[in-house]
A and B are shown apart, each in its own frame.
Chain A
Amino acid sequence: MLRRLLAPQMLALHVVAVVAVLACALLGLWQLDRTRAFNQTAVDPAPAPITTVTQVEGSLRDGAAGRLVSLVGTYDATQQFTVTDRGGDPWVLTVLQVGATGPARPGVLVVRGRLAAGAVAPAPPTGLVEVIGRLQAAEPSSGAPATGSYELAAVSPVDLLTRVPYPLYDGYVVLRSQVPPAPASLALVPSPAVPDTPPGYVWQHAGYVALWWAFGLFALFFWYRLVSDRLADS
């Protein structure tokens, strides 16, 4: 019997069976990985320089929204606003001009933090600052603030185009860390990383795990029937 089991034709069958079962097992593991990907927390890639992910008077590049970005420049103290309707105390938003010197440097809207109740918005640091924050897509425009008003209802570069005498980048940045450090009267607005949603549904991939392993078991069963049939025939 052993000799018949090891005949060349039978050996080929064994090899095919092993390959098929292994392939099904691995494909099942691959789908298991994809099922687990749903429970993963997001990990941020290193901050990207702002100039590489958004454009002046253009739009955010693909996949840029939600990224950490780094920028170096100077705050424009004359372009500081409070944003209302933020579920509690207002946000403080200051335009930061990217680069070291020159009046026409393009600006970025930076949400510096949430103002403590009753406090007056602190002036931004003077001189060159380094900012790391999360880039967000601009909110829909709610109309430019009235002349002389420093209150905004939406965080949108479009709303400030008529107020700011230089071009603006699309989107806005929620401050995460800054050198020199941000003043204590501003609490950072939380901006957690949003995990990438893997394609499909959890149950879909879980179902594929079961299906691949079922195919693997079937291949094993198929092999067993073939071998026992051939042994019975000879």
Chain B
Amino acid sequence: MKSALLRYRVLAYLVGVMLLVLVFVAVPLHYLRDSPGLSQIVSPIHGFLFFVYVLVTFDLSRYTKWSLPRTLLIMISGTIPFMSFVMEHKVNAEVTAELAAQTGELAT
């Protein structure tokens, strides 16, 4: 579960950063400056990373037993600028607390 959380966090960061580059740099360059070069490189990479993000989120949800709406919400938050960082922070705090509780139970 710990490594699943780490995988999720890495991908959430990557997808979040790529999305910001896409929305605030590449797409304005493409449509306002008519220079599509950057967006044609960043867009497919972002698409692929988002797919991996969805996979690792699903993997994490197997451990955490999230409800379906919750899982979908976390997946979708990867497509909203800044939201993936907020969600990653929340998920990390929650899962870390749960992990601590589990190890606490084991210790007693």
> What is the minimal beta-carbon distance from A219 to any residue of chain B, in angstroms?
10
Residues of chain B from 64 to 82 with CB closer than 8 A to chain A in the complex: 68
Q: How many A-B residue pairs have CB under 8 A?
A: 27
> B58 contacts which chain A residues (CB < 8 A)?
218, 222
Chain A residues near B92 (CB-CB < 8 A): none
Contacts of A226 in B (CB 8 A): 68
Q: Which residues of B contact A199 (CB under 8 A)?
A: 36
Interface-located stretch among A32-40, A123-131, A161-169, A208-216: A208-216
| Residue among B36, B48, B55, B62 making CB contact with A207, cutoff 8 Å | B48
B47 within 8 A of partner (CB): yes
Asked if A200 meets B51 with Cβ closer than 8 Å, knowing A222-B58, A226-B68, the reply is no
B47: chain A residues at CB < 8 Å are 207-208, 211
Quick check: A201 and B51 within 8 Å, CB to CB?
no
Check B36 against A200 for contact (C-beta < 8 Å): yes
Q: A207-B47, A211-B47, A226-B68 are in contact. Are A218 and B40 (CB under 8 A)?
A: no
In the complex, A187→B82 CA distance in Å? 63
Measured in the bound complex, the distance between the Cα atoms of B55 and A79 in whole Å is 71
Chain A residues within 8 Å of chain B by Cβ, number: 14
Contact of B55 among A201, A208, A218 (CB under 8 A): A218
Let me know if B44 is at the binding interface, CB within 8 A. yes
A214 to B54, CA, bound (A): 11
Query: Which residues from B are CB-within-8-Å of A211?
Result: 44, 47-48, 51
Choose from B44, B62, B68 the contact partner of A208 (Cβ within 8 Å). Answer: B44
Q: Residue-by-residue, is B17-47 near A (CB-CB < 8 Å gives 1, otherwise 0)?
A: 0000000000000000000100010011001
CB atoms of B40 and A214 under 8 A apart: no
Bound Cα distance A199, B68 (Å): 37
The distance from the CB of A72 to the nearest CB of chain B, in whole angstroms, is: 37
* A32 CA / B54 CA spacing, docked (Å): 23
Neighbouring A residues of B36 by C-beta, 8 Å: 199-200
Quick one: given A222-B58, A226-B68, are A215 and B40 in contact (CB under 8 Å)? Answer: no
Cβ contact within 8 Å between A207 and B44:
yes
Does A185 sit within 8 A of B, measured CB to CB?
no
Query: In the assembled complex, which residues on chain A have CB atoms less than 8 Å from the CB atom of B62?
Result: 225
Cβ-closest 9 pairs across A and B: A207-B44, A211-B47, A204-B44, A200-B40, A204-B40, A214-B51, A201-B40, A211-B51, A211-B48
> Which A residues form the contact surface with B (CB < 8 A)?
199-201, 203-204, 207-208, 211, 214-215, 218, 222, 225-226
23 A-B pairs within 8 Å (CB atoms) are namely A199-B36, A200-B36, A200-B40, A201-B40, A203-B44, A204-B40, A204-B43, A204-B44, A207-B44, A207-B47, A208-B44, A211-B44, A211-B47, A211-B51, A214-B51, A215-B51, A215-B54, A218-B51, A218-B55, A218-B58, A222-B58, A225-B62, A226-B68
